[in-house]
Structure 1
Amino acid sequence: MTTYLIDVTYNADAWAAWIRTPHSCAPKIEALLTNLRGRLIGFWWANAGFDSLLLVELPDAAALLTFRAYAASMGGIDTVRAVPLLSDQEGVAAMASAGAHSQ
Structure 2
Amino acid sequence: MAVPVIVLGRSGDTRSASGAFLAPLGHPLMERKGDMMPLYLSRFSYTPETWARLIGHPEDRAKAAQSYIESVGGKLHGFWYAFGTHDGYNLWEAPDNVSMAAVALAISGGGALSSFETTVLLTVDETMDALRKAERVQYRAPGA
More strand by share: 1
Equivalent residues of 2:69, 2:100 under 8 A apart:
no
**1:61 correspondence with 2:108:** no
Equivalence for 1:3: 39
Equivalent residues of 2:42, 2:116 under 8 A apart:
yes
CA distance in 2, matches of 1:64, 1:79: 16
What is the alpha-carbon root mean square deviation over aligned residues?
Answer: 1.6
- Residue correspondence of structure 1 range 39-78 to structure 2 within 5 A: 39-78=75-114
Out of 61-70 and 30-39, give the one that drifted further.
Answer: 61-70
Give the fraction of aligned pairs with identical amino acids, expressed as a percent: 26
Name stretches of at least 5 consecutive residues in structure 2 with no aligned partner: 1-36, 138-144
CA distance in 2, matches of 1:26, 1:42: 8
**TM-score (ref. length: structure 1):** 0.89
Q: Which has the larger radius of gyration?
A: 2
How many pairs align?
A: 102
Larger RCO: 1 or 2 (CA < 8 Å, sep 6+): 1
Secondary structure of the structure 2 residue equivalent to 1:74? coil
Name stretches of at least 5 consecutive residues in structure 1 with no aligned partner: none
Q: CA deviation at 1:74?
A: 2.2
More helix by share: 1
